Amino acid sequence: MKKSIIYGSSGVGATLARSLISDGQSVHLAGRNNSAITALSDELSCSFTVGNVCDSEFFKQVASEAGEDVNSVIYAAGTINLKGLSRLCTDDFIEDYQVNVVGAALAIQASLNSLKRNKGSVVLFSSVASKVGLPMHASIGAAKGAISGLTVSLAAELSPSVRVNAISPSLCETPLGSKVIHNDKIKEALSATHPLKRLGTADDIAPLCKFLISDNASWITGQIIGVDGGRGSIAST
């Protein structure tokens, strides 16, 4: 039975976990929201570890509690820190980099032996903000750009044993996205910036993630794939 470690217990992570469990696969959840991760674990009857991705020891605990037979690591933890440059401080840049980039690297590192042994797969999350210049995205855009660099670097380093890909979404209606989507007026305005005229959902992202960790994607590595309503490559009219 294939086993995936999913960092992030809501939004895309939760949707993916439900889909994998429904297919008879095994999931180990990892995240900091104790109530959310406990509820999801109870729903899916799967194992979990609660902790903070800013704590380097957390990843060792996750790998230990997940066990040796891990086939994939999905790092869906992230931040959405939107501020103008004049309002950003050193801690903003450090936190965005720590959560998004350092956390992703340590998550892979902690499970690397198992991933290599099982010829496994990793999925990380970049952002459309690393490809298209967006105001108020200096800190998170830089961190997500680093995720893209991490993806291709590790894909090269770990081939042929481990495949590494990233999904690059635009704004989605998830618990993380709700920090930006405060009301229907804002939602309508943000939807209009996408050629497909709507925001994304976890159901738009999770199926691609599921595909990338499957055997059907066995010849895909080092890719940063946009799932962004066209915002990353098409001018909105």
pLDDT confidence bin for 52, thresholds 50/70/90: very high
Average pLDDT rounded to a whole number, residues 218-234:
95
Within-domain flag for 133: yes
Average pLDDT rounded to a whole number, residues 40-67:
97
Q: At CB < 8 A and 24+ separation, what contacts does 61-68 make?
A: 62/5, 62/7, 62/28, 62/30, 62/107, 62/110, 62/111, 63/5, 63/110, 63/111, 63/114, 65/28, 66/3, 66/5, 66/28, 66/111, 67/3, 67/28, 68/114, 68/117
Average pLDDT, the chain: 95
Return the higher-pLDDT residue of 175 and 225: 225
Average pLDDT rounded to a whole number, residues 57-82:
95
Domain range holding 140? 3-171+202-227
Within-domain flag for 150: yes
Look at residue 5 in the predicted model and tell me its pLDDT: 98
Average pLDDT rounded to a whole number, residues 208-237:
94
Look at residue 182 in the predicted model and tell me its pLDDT: 84
Bond prior to 175 in cis (omega within 30° of 0): no
Within-domain flag for 191: no
Within-domain flag for 178: no
Domain count for the chain = 1
CA dist 42 and 57 (Å) reads 25
Q: Can you give the pTM of this predicted structure?
A: 0.95
Look at residue 25 in the predicted model and tell me its pLDDT: 97
Over 80: is that where the pLDDT of 235 sits?
no
Instruction: Find where tokens 């903003």 sit.
Output: 92
CATH of the domain at 79: 3.40.50.720
Within-domain flag for 197: no
Over 80: is that where the pLDDT of 236 sits?
no
List pLDDT tens digits, range 130-140: 989 899 999 99
pLDDT confidence bin for 49, thresholds 50/70/90: very high
Q: Could you give the percent of the chain with pLDDT greater than 70?
A: 100
Average pLDDT rounded to a whole number, residues 5-28:
96
Look at residue 101 in the predicted model and tell me its pLDDT: 98
Q: Looking at the chain, list the stretches that DSSP marks H as alpha helix, in order from N- to C-terminal side.
A: 12-22, 34-44, 56-66, 90-97, 103-110, 112-117, 138-158, 184-192, 202-212
Over 80: is that where the pLDDT of 146 sits?
yes
Within-domain flag for 176: no
Look at residue 84 in the predicted model and tell me its pLDDT: 95
Return the higher-pLDDT residue of 237 and 51: 51
Average pLDDT rounded to a whole number, residues 71-75:
98
Look at residue 179 in the predicted model and tell me its pLDDT: 79
Within-domain flag for 10: yes
Within-domain flag for 69: yes
List pLDDT tens digits, range 153-173: 999 999 999 999 999 999 888
Over 90: is that where the pLDDT of 1 sits?
no
